[in-house]
Structure 1
């Protein structure tokens, strides 16, 4: 018999998620005056927020530090064990210190706390037991007490670490909004990867690498087909002599034209007679992700790039795929 068949997998997973969701919900009353004091202390400090912990709490501390740094609040991680073995010098006079611990009674924490108190730094305790040593010694308490771990033995840090993580996110988002940290700031801090590209990559960065197919409204059908084939974007713009956009002709427009019964000879057909007027366009200064949204919205593969009504070129779905936005 398979080992996995001895338990109800869905039931156990559902129970775990339910318990952790309850732990998160129980944090709502903990967003209190102490929470506001913690935010104020971090905002007003001229130093950084030093976040420390031991065991699984140290891992949560590292994630909180990463979130704070990426959202405009300078923070560093200090492992509690390393702190008492030489790394305590990382803490500067103006820093605020946040120590994360479920029990608040870990031996390393008990050694570290008096040292920080001697330094005179503001000490914030994110703790799961407000009667613990850490809580009693702290200037400010962030209560992350949970009634039960999701672990069936009520031992492995699960609900408690989830509560710590969520409390840290709440701090980071409040600080982010207080500082007016916007999408432009976010883009500066996240220049790499897909996230960065969504925030800073513009249409103007992409369309210039493509050919710029265009014909006059008086162009013959043959000229239209040659231009579309030569520039290999599946479409051409139709413009006047001043490059003002009049319409667009795609491969699909050509196929639909040939499917219709037409009275004109093919060599008599002009671009103006088969073009789609008022095509979907996007400004060169728009974000590339906005172009992606339009392509998805209208289920098309290219957009005409303009500035005002002046034709500049095309941005194609392939450009966005190549940049990893899809």
Structure 2
């Protein structure tokens, strides 16, 4: 089947750049709305003993879902409720200590307006995000956050474009202001994202992947280089840890060390030469709770393929670069 290719009357690149320009200009207008109302909303949400319930319909609903999701992943318990479903039973999800954030460009969304009397009767704090300070929703809210933009990026002035972007950015501003106020950490963030690559990277510690016990290639200081090489080869890690009989780390020896020794003297007697005379003293050690991501950075900066895991100079485990690759942390 043949498809005829015809020239489009539209300059797609020019239109795309025009859209970006309009949206950028709209976002620049938001600075004036990061004001005392914004700060008041942050304080109320910060002290909320319940959850933040976000509502919106149509495009505002899609934005509301994203805002609720961002809140939830940055330390502010939150979920989205569709206003139409709330009018038919789902309002029961909203509890006395909760806060409702309602999003509507016009501020006149009927499905939300019908909920307001019930919310007020239950003394539930209502924060509205609209582009019209004089709208019914804005006037009914305890706090109104304005997100007015000069124009939509849609050439017809109809499809929500700049306005929805403005609402989304304002939601992000609220979420990140609260994140900072709570002292939210990387580990806190990871606890909300345990299944993703980011959470895996922020949660996995060297103690979770290290070799322990008989899996660690180790030998005592008085052993010969030959004995150390045999043991090192059997473990297939290219390294051996030298420890006292009590398990205290004395040093480390790698296949790279062996190559350097042989380059200096090809006639060494591996049976008579003690391992502690050619080992690298102590070596690179880490605490068991060290993040694997941090271990990767150290290994890259030190140009090593293996690190020892210890506590009070006592060997607990060994982590090789292959273990990190298997854990998909790079």
Conserved 8 A contact 2:212-2:316: no
Aligned to 2:144: 141
Conserved 8 A contact 1:47-1:95: yes
TM-superposed deviation, 1:299: 3.0
Structure 2 spans left out of the alignment, 5+ residues: none
Q: How does 1:65-214 map to 2 (within 5 A)?
A: 65-208=68-211, 211-214=215-218
Conserved 8 A contact 2:207-2:317: no
How far apart, in 1, do the equivalents of 2:166 and 2:204 lie? 36
Q: Residue 296 of structure 1: which of 300, 320, 330 is its match?
A: 300
What TM-score does the superposition give when structure 1 sets the normalisation length? 0.86
Q: How does 1:13-28 map to 2 (within 5 A)?
A: 13-28=16-31
Q: How does 1:41-80 map to 2 (within 5 A)?
A: 41-80=44-83
Conserved 8 A contact 1:212-1:312: no
What secondary structure is seen at the aligned counterpart in 2 of 1:311? strand
Q: Residue 221 of structure 2: which of 198, 201, 217 is its match?
A: 217
How far apart, in 2, do the equivalents of 1:18 and 1:279 lie? 56
TM-superposed deviation, 1:54: 0.5
Which whole-Å deviations, capped at 9, do the CAs of 1:150-197 have from their partners, x for residues lacking one? 444443333322222221122222223333444454444443333333
Give the superposed CA RMSD. 2.8
Q: Residue 232 of structure 1: which of 224, 228, 236 is its match?
A: 236
Structure 1 spans left out of the alignment, 5+ residues: none
TM-superposed deviation, 1:304: 1.5
Aligned to 1:272: 276
TM-superposed deviation, 1:16: 4.1
What secondary structure is seen at the aligned counterpart in 1 of 2:81? strand
TM-superposed deviation, 1:238: 1.9
Residues 11 and 324 of structure 1, relative CA distance in 2, 3 Å threshold: farther
Conserved 8 A contact 1:213-1:313: no
Which whole-Å deviations, capped at 9, do the CAs of 1:127-148 have from their partners, x for residues lacking one? 1222333223222111111223
Compare 173-182 and 316-325 and name the one that shifted more.
Answer: 173-182
